[in-house]
Amino acid sequence: MTSFFLDQHGCAKNQIDGELILTRLLHKGMKRVNTPEEADLIIVNSCGFIESAKRESLEAVIDAKTSYPHAKVLLAGCLSERYAESLAEDLPEADGIIGNGDLSAVDAVVDSIIEGQRPVETYDQEGVCCGEREELLSFPGSAYVKISEGCDSRCSFCAIPGIRGNMRSRPAQDIIDEIQSLLNRGIVEINLVGQDSASYGMDGANPIKKEIWSQFDGTGDKKSPLCQLLEGISKLEGKFWIRLLYIHPDHFPLDILPVMVADPRLLPYFDIPFQSGSDPIIKAMNRIGTGQEYTELVQKLKAQTWNPCLGEAAVRSTFLVGFPGETEENATDTLNFITAIEPDWAGSFTYSKEEDTPAGRMENQVPKKIAEKRNKALQALQEEMTAKRLSQRTGRTYDVLIEEVIEGGDGEGNGLAIGRCWFQAPEVDGAVVVSYDLEDQAHLVASGNMVSVLVTGSSGVDLTGAIV
């Protein structure tokens, strides 16, 4: 039996691809091992989005071959899809390369590697790679589900359409059936993902024509495909969380809000990558909104009357700092925008000049040191915002999904566990440190369980609380 180790990199969409790969190899009769030392085959499921991620994935391949020369190394994922031809020549450490257009091909590629060949394979980006996932790479109780693949938006800084292709949406019933299957397995948190979840079902629509998206403002009879999908999910029975990730601000279908208000299982957690709050930069990014329009969108989300057990909506965003031509005034505009919308969470990264993107050819590239300084200022402001938002959630009781139980507790007779509230997405947001009585409440606490927790305090990006 050939053993394999999966070295996972990149985003949640890539994680799903990794789960699909490992499931195919398990069905092939191979054995998954937990350390690369034990593996006959090491698979680096790479990220190719920005320079730092590309470098990390390349180093993983080189380190794997250097540290474990007995093993074959397969490079998979976005990096291999984007640079297969050049990597075939420049990365001899890889014993094989496979893109992410057709993951069913991994069986044949692995066979070729085992037979001593060096396959280099990419495939057309068609459909959505999905299917059975025997093992999940998330914490117990949680899973990601793809609703689409690719993107029709052409943000000037983004290489994703060149890697993942144009927008392709899965049929709603396929998504609903997969969610039901996961619920049957005991999963209680489903995170819906796509490169542009707001555009679900709108494959081929022109992303820069506002009239296409304004028809889904909730005032007319026409429902967006995303609204219809959420209505279908809402018909499922049971207690679970549905969280929608990666919602492009220019395409946000407001008609989803009444559906979410009516069903508290559809969490009012809005992951909207604004990228900038400065109008000239937003325009240069090939986006059609404005800082004022984005501010008004967040105000609408927070003005909704959500279920009392949830409270106010949670907003997460992402910001790109140091975009070509960004001035100090533009950077200040973004800081003022963050102050205005008060996001619960926000990630930020400095601009990475990517080949084959319009921004990569733009003049007035911002020096790295200046971009990093602006990024630190943005992160400091967001830390203040996050602390403020978390302090507003103390004193309330929430359901908490337990991720990990800390062995030995606090050493004073109390148990400790790490979990997340509904407004904390996996991996990217903070956590809740949960204390409980080891004698009376230990039976409630296990990875994948939901428990009721009174939040008593906050520290940095995390909360503390006790089971009630």
Q: What is the mean pLDDT of each run of 10 residues along the chain (468 residues)?
A: 90 92 94 94 90 90 94 93 90 93 91 92 85 91 95 90 90 96 96 94 87 87 95 96 96 95 96 97 95 96 90 94 96 97 95 89 93 97 95 94 89 88 94 92 92 94 94
* pLDDT (0 to 100) of residue 206: 83
Q: Give the integer Cα–Cα distance in Å for 109 and 120.
A: 8
How far apart are alpha carbons 75 and 2 in whole angstroms? 17
pLDDT at residue number 160: 85
pLDDT tens track for 290-335 = 999 999 999 999 999 899 888 889 999 999 999 999 999 999 999 9
Distance CA 121, CA 260 (A): 42
Cβ(8)–Cβ(89) under 8 Å?
no
Q: Based on the number of CB atoms within 10 Å of its own CB, is 89 exposed (0-12), middle (13-18) or buried (19 or more)?
A: exposed
Q: How far apart are CA 127 and CA 144, in angstroms?
A: 18
- C-alpha pair distances (Å), 397 with each of 71, 418, 466: 50, 16, 9
Query: Cα(57)–Cα(80) distance, rounded to whole angstroms?
Result: 10
- The confidence score (pLDDT) of residue 236 equals 97
Angle at Cα 319 formed by Cα 310 and Cα 386, nearest 5°?
Answer: 40
